[in-house]
Amino acid sequence: MPIDPNFPQNHKVKEKFKDPSSESYYLVWGPGRLAEAASDPKVMADYKATGEEIKPMGIHGTYVAVDWDSCIADGICLLSCPVKVFEWYKNPGETGRNDRKDFTDKANPVQEANCIWCMACVEVCPTKAIKVDQANQEIHEKEIANIP
């Protein structure tokens, strides 16, 4: 089940974060659903090892949007991005393919403002968890304009 091709339709912002290194905001969209991550053997094994429960996590980022319920921490998007848009959620600042903490980790598009729209990440993602759409930049700007 790849990322919803109609995203952000039918999604709502549930969290807003400010990246400390770039000072730029990124958004998390819900509601989320159980998808590839909930049935991938490596992801399931690491959830079991850490004692964490697999729950819907939603879509992180808006114009570089990663569906964390589909992300299986493969890391090929981190390797293929020429401008280092992604870092590991559980290893902040780490951008190497194999720098994930474990397979419960996620590709976090914290530097989406740097995207050059090459679509490499979209093409290589094994679960098609990523949607890059320049048109969604305006939606992002509108959402962060409401932050007090």
Under the criterion CB under 6 A, does residue 125 sit at the interface with ligand SF4? no
Q: Are the C-beta atoms of residues 68 and 57 closer than 8 Å to each other? A: yes
Which of the ranges 36-44, 94-102, 111-119, 135-143 carries the binding residues for ligand SF4, by CB under 6 A? 111-119
The Cα 43–Cα 34 span in angstroms is: 13
- Min separation Cβ 89 and ligand SF4, Å: 15
Under the criterion CB under 6 A, does residue 110 sit at the interface with ligand SF4? no
What single DSSP character describes residue 95?
Answer: -
Under the criterion CB under 6 A, does residue 117 sit at the interface with ligand SF4? yes
Q: How many CA atoms lie within 13 A of 3 on its CB side?
A: 32
Which of the ranges 1-9, 76-84, 89-97, 98-106 carries the binding residues for ligand SF4, by CB under 6 A? 76-84
**Residue 33 neighbours by CB distance under 10 Å:** 14
Q: Which residues pair with 26 in a beta bridge?
A: 17
Q: Residues in the site for ligand SF4, rule: CB under 6 A?
A: 64, 80-83, 85, 115-121, 132
